[in-house]
């Protein structure tokens, strides 16, 4: 699988990816306007994404197999200063579920967050009914931190989410103060 940051030139591919997976993704996403995933709408957002990526305020990864877009992973809401953290979101083409694709693209995003952006913490949250996400995050080393009641409006309903995080392993040793 090839993994890279998204560019505005990916609008057509992303539109097709979301169109072909709309019934698969709707269970895990907010209700969107009909045009949200149109090529024109994506073109505008991807221009913004490129700017955020250049400034280190977000990173949007896409994964390809044989030139077909099969997965996405984003690092958003990046905060620097003493927090140095972000949120991670992700999705995979229905046909590629269970193939290890999600682990690979998320691992690449995690490496980028810690090595390139020098973040300390990545947060990823999932609905309790999403066993695939629970297993993925556990496999990637995320730790459960709690439950947020009615955390996000997903598919027209306020859904509880399990809160997890992954701390940069380079920062796990705390200096002792004398």
pLDDT-derived band at 16, boundaries 50, 70, 90: very high
**Mean of per-residue pLDDT scores for the chain:** 94
Q: Is the pLDDT of residue 84 over 80?
A: yes
What was the pLDDT predicted at 68? Answer: 94
Q: How many CB atoms lie within 10 A of CB 31?
A: 11
Residue range 51-67: mean pLDDT, rounded: 97
Q: How far apart are CA 112 and CA 153, in angstroms?
A: 29
Residue range 35-54: mean pLDDT, rounded: 94
Tell me the per-residue pLDDT of 142-175, one tens digit each, with 9 for 90 and over.
999 999 999 999 999 999 999 999 999 988 765 5
Residue range 106-117: mean pLDDT, rounded: 97
Q: How far apart are CA 174 and CA 31, in angstroms?
A: 43
Q: Domain locations in the chain?
A: 2-121
Please give the CATH topology (third level) of the domain spanning 2-121. Aminopeptidase (3.40.630)
Angle (deg, nearest 10), helices 101-111 and 131-139:
50
């Amino acid at each position: 699988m090839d993994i890279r940051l998204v560019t505005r030139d990916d609008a057509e591919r992303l539109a097709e990816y979301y169109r072909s997976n709309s019934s698969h993704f709707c269970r895990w996403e907010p209700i969107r306007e009909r045009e949200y995933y149109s090529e024109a709408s994506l073109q505008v957002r991807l221009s913004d994404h490129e700017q955020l990526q250049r400034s280190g305020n977000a990173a949007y990864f896409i994964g390809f197999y044989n030139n077909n877009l099969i997965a996405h992973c984003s690092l958003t809401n990046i905060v620097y200063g003493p927090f140095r953290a972000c949120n991670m979101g992700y999705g995979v083409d229905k046909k590629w579920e269970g193939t290890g694709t999600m682990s690979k693209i998320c691992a690449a995003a995690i490496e980028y967050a810690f090595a390139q952006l020098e973040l300390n913490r990545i947060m990823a949250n999932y609905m309790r009914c999403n066993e695939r996400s629970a297993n993925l995050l556990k496999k990637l080393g995320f730790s459960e931190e709690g439950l947020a009641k009615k955390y996000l409006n997903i598919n027209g309903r306020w859904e509880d989410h399990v809160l997890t995080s992954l701390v940069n392993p380079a920062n796990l040793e705390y200096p002792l103060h004398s």
